[in-house]
A and B are shown apart, each in its own frame.
Chain A
Amino acid sequence: MASSSIPAGDHGDPTRRDFLMVATGAMGAVGAIAVAWPFINNLNPAADTLALSTTEIDVKSIAVGQAVTVKWRGKPVFIRHRTKEEIKEAEDVKLSELPDPETDNARVTDLAKKVRPEWLIVIGVCTHLGCVPLGNKPGDPRGEYGGWFCPCHGSQYDTSGRIRKGPAPKNLAVPGYLFTTDTLVRIG
């Protein structure tokens, strides 16, 4: 817009006219962007969608070694009550072996910075192309690393939900969560 040069004619002062053209054009562009923004922003999540963004779960009934799937923001969240072995396995991995290095400790810390290694809470969405990995139900394949196995393209996650093998680039995401009591956890 307005960036094309104006032929300096015989009429008026060319510099002043150029300046006015550029200023008007720039003003017009700002206006156009201002008008376009509400249309673009309109497609972002609405208030009622955002309002559903926290959920509270009682984890009392999840036995050691068990996992449950809860729905949060339309996505599955895995809550796994890890066994001692699983915790040890997750902690013993060398960071250099990981495609997306992250300590197990950092992944089991809630928003109040309290570490609860027995509870692993991750978003159950494969970071490759968004499938739900298997491994929560007894009898599900858990992959070579004892965590989760994605049936779509074969990504494998360990007992800390970290990517170990397959096409997924990142670890299973940890949602922000807070243990309001020892058995009550709020996600989001």
Chain B
Amino acid sequence: MSIKLSMQRLILAGATAFALSAGAAAIAAEDMPPLPHHEWSFQGPFGTYDRAAAQRGFQVYKEVCSACHSMNLLYYRNLTELGLTEDQAKAIAAEVQVPALSDDGSPIERPGRLSDHFKAPFPNELAAAAANGGKAPPDLSVIVKAREGGPNYVYGILTGYVPYDKLTPEQIKEFNVSKDDNFNLHFLGHRIAMPAPLADDKVTYVDGTKATLQQEASDVVTFLAWASEPHLEARNRTGIRAILFMLALAGLMYATKRAIWADKH
């Protein structure tokens, strides 16, 4: 192949890529507002989960989110790690009916136990999709680890809804928003299938905390972060010990190495 031809192809391909980048920019993340920066109890090497917030967050999940979103990787027994007593966790498990087999092999339902998974709102993904306009709501077990931005992203989505009448004409035009669409500041493309799930006083907290939208969102994100990474506290603890130990060992080794090399340097 001649060099001229390949140069032409190179330039052509470059131009294509440029045109593409211009086109794709409209749906790319460049025009997204920055995610809110929330102070989380579980941040940093000394972070721990705020148990009270996580328990409130579980209440939000149970009363609101769980109507559509499964958490298939969690078991009712895990709730004791949130600070609930075993009896409380048992009672929560017993609220649901799970499929089982009777002694003669016929399908029955029995109350949930600690060893059961969180009951999913739909029997399978197809049913979930069919009941939700064609797109199954994602499982929330590891959602905080599965999204760029982690807890701030989930918090941003939960608090980022803008009602249709508050949108500027430019936003409506640029993102092709209709009255039936849900507009979310932090969702890629802004039109999101999920209607705003939380609002002020959507739940009544058992511990008396005032249920503002922000409070609910930060509580449920704390719960979801715990669900995504239940061993974070043990990890932090172990990490600090391991690193301190290795620093000491490294110091000792360096001193020994210096002593050994003293006659060679």
Contact = CB atoms under 8 A, between A and B. Distances in A.
Contacts of B247: none
A75 B20 CA distance: 26
B16 A141 contact: no
B8 to A, nearest CB: 15
B24 interface: yes
B250 interface: no
B17 interface: yes
Nearest to B20: A154
Nearest to B176: A139
Contacts of B27: 141
Contact of B16 (A137, A139, A166): A166
Interface residues of A, number: 7
Instruction: Name the prevailing secondary structure of the B interface residues.
Output: helix
A38 B17 CA distance: 46
Contacts of B16: 154, 165-166
A118 B10 CA distance: 38
Nearest to A156: B20
Contacts of A154: 16-17, 20, 24
Interface in B8-37: 13, 16-17, 20, 24, 27
A139 B24 CA distance: 15
Instruction: Name the prevailing secondary structure of the A interface residues.
Output: loop
A99 B179 CA distance: 42
Interface in A137-188: 137, 139, 141, 154, 165-167
A60 B135 CA distance: 22
Interface in B26-77: 27
Nearest to A154: B20
Contacts of A165: 16
Interface in B172-221: 191
Interface in B116-154: 134
Nearest to A143: B23
A138 to B, nearest CB: 10
A139 B189 CA distance: 11
A139 B135 CA distance: 13
A72 to B, nearest CB: 17
In this complex, the member of B16, B20, B24 whose beta carbon has the largest number of chain A beta carbons within 10 angstroms is B20
A130 B190 CA distance: 28
A166 B17 CA distance: 8
A154 to B, nearest CB: 4
A58 B191 CA distance: 31
A154 B13 CA distance: 11
Contacts of B191: 139
Contacts of A137: 134
Contacts of A141: 27
A141 B23 CA distance: 10
A62 B16 CA distance: 34
Contacts of A167: 13
A121 B202 CA distance: 47
A68 to B, nearest CB: 11
Nearest to B27: A141
Contacts of B24: 154
Contacts of B13: 167
Interface string B226-264: 000000000000000000000000000000000000000
4 shortest interchain CB distances as A-B pairs? A154-B20, A165-B16, A166-B16, A141-B27
11 contacts: A137-B134, A139-B191, A141-B27, A154-B16, A154-B17, A154-B20, A154-B24, A165-B16, A166-B16, A166-B20, A167-B13
Given A141-B27, A154-B24, A167-B13, 8 more contacts: A137-B134, A139-B191, A154-B16, A154-B17, A154-B20, A165-B16, A166-B16, A166-B20
